[in-house]
Amino acid sequence: MIIGKNFFIAEMPKAGSTFIRNYFKQYKDIELTIQHETINQNNRVELLEMDHKIGLIRNPYSWYLSIWRWSCLMKKKSPVYSDLVSKRLKLKRLRLNKRLIGYIFDQIAKDTNSLKNLFEDPSSKVNFNEFLKIILNFKYRNIIGSDYSFIPYKNIGYMTFSFFLQNSLREDYQMLFNSHFKFSKILKLVDERLYTNLFFKTESLENDLKKFLIKNKYKVKSFKNLRKNQSPGKFHDSYINFFSKENMRLIELKDSYIFKKFKYKKLSK
C-alpha cells in the first residue's frame, strides 16, 4: 500500500502499481508498505477514515494478458503460476463447502506438466488462450488451487475476484462464497461495501495521478524514467487478435462487473 496524510492507494497487481510506487519514492512523507498489501493484511482499520481511499483498475483484456505474460517470466514468483501448477491440498487452502470434494479430486488429478507448458512462451497465442480457458471456464475452476476455486457462482471472473480482494474487507468479500443468495444480489452488496472511493485507471495513470496531486495540493514531482506497465492505450488489431473470440466473450461475461463499473468497452462484436 501507499499511504499519505489524507489518502492511501490499494495496489491491484498488474494495474500500474510499480509505476505508482516508483513515483511516490520521491516523497519523504509517503509510506510504502508491502506491494499489493490490502487493509485486511495491513490491519490498520483507521486508514478507512481517510478522505481518499484509492484503488487501481485496468482494462480486463489487457489485465489478463499482462498477468499471464508476467507469470511466464516470473514462474513460481507469480501466485497465478503457483496456484495452477502446484497441487494445493494443505488444510489452510481448503474451505468446507459443496465444492470441497470436487476440488480435492481435481487437485490430485491435474496434469502439472501440461500446465507448466502454458507459461513457457509469452508470445504464444495458443498457450495464452488455453490459460484463459482454464481461468475463466467454470468447469476448470477447481484446477486453479486458490480461494477462487471455492466460489459457487459461474459468472464471476478471476479479475473481478482479484478486484474484490484488493478493494473490500474480508468479511464483505466472504459473501462471494455464500450459495444461498442470487449472484446479482451478492455482487451488489459487495460493490456497495468497497472501501475504495476513487480509482486510477492504468490507461490514464499519469494523468489521473497528476489531477489528484494538484487537487490535494501535493507538489508534482518528476515523471521521467519511471518504470511502468507497457499496456497500449488503444487496442490495435494485432493486440486484440491475441484473444480468441470465445475467450473475449468469456472475459466480457465473467468480468461484466468491471466493464460496467469502469465503462470499458466490450470488443468481441
What are the pLDDT digits (tens) for 134-169? 999 999 999 999 999 999 999 999 999 999 999 999
CA distance 233 to 229: 11
- pLDDT at residue 248 tops 60: yes
- pLDDT at residue 252 tops 90: yes
Yes or no: say if 138 and 148 are a contact pair by the CB < 8 Å rule. Answer: no
Residue range 208-225: mean pLDDT, rounded: 89
Q: In what order do the strands lie in the sheet with 52-57?
A: 31-32, 2-3, 7-10, 52-57, 198-201
pLDDT at 66: 93
pLDDT in tens, 4-48: 989 999 999 999 999 999 999 998 899 999 889 999 888 888 899
- pLDDT at residue 265 tops 90: yes
- pLDDT at residue 190 tops 90: yes
- pLDDT at residue 225 tops 90: no
- pLDDT at residue 232 tops 60: no
Domain ranges of the chain: 2-58+195-215, 60-193+241-261
Nearest 5°: CA angle at 256, between 168 and 143? 75
pLDDT at 4: 92
CA distance 248 to 78: 23
pLDDT in tens, 94-134: 898 889 999 999 999 999 999 999 999 999 999 999 999 99
CA distance 88 to 221: 44
pLDDT at 268: 86
pLDDT at 233: 44
Q: What does the block give as the cell for 61?
A: 483484456
**Residue 153 DSSP label:** -
Which pLDDT band, with edges at 50, 70 and 90, does 231 fall under? very low
Residue range 242-267: mean pLDDT, rounded: 95
pLDDT in tens, 53-110: 999 999 999 999 999 999 999 999 999 999 999 999 988 888 988 899 999 999 999 9
> 263 CB contacts (<8 Å, ≥6 apart)?
none
CA distance 166 to 150: 18
Alpha-carbon dihedral of residues 62, 27, 38, 264, nearest 10 degrees? -30
Q: What does the block give as the cell for 245?
A: 473470440
Alpha-carbon dihedral of residues 141, 18, 15, 47, nearest 10 degrees? 90
- pLDDT at residue 49 tops 50: yes
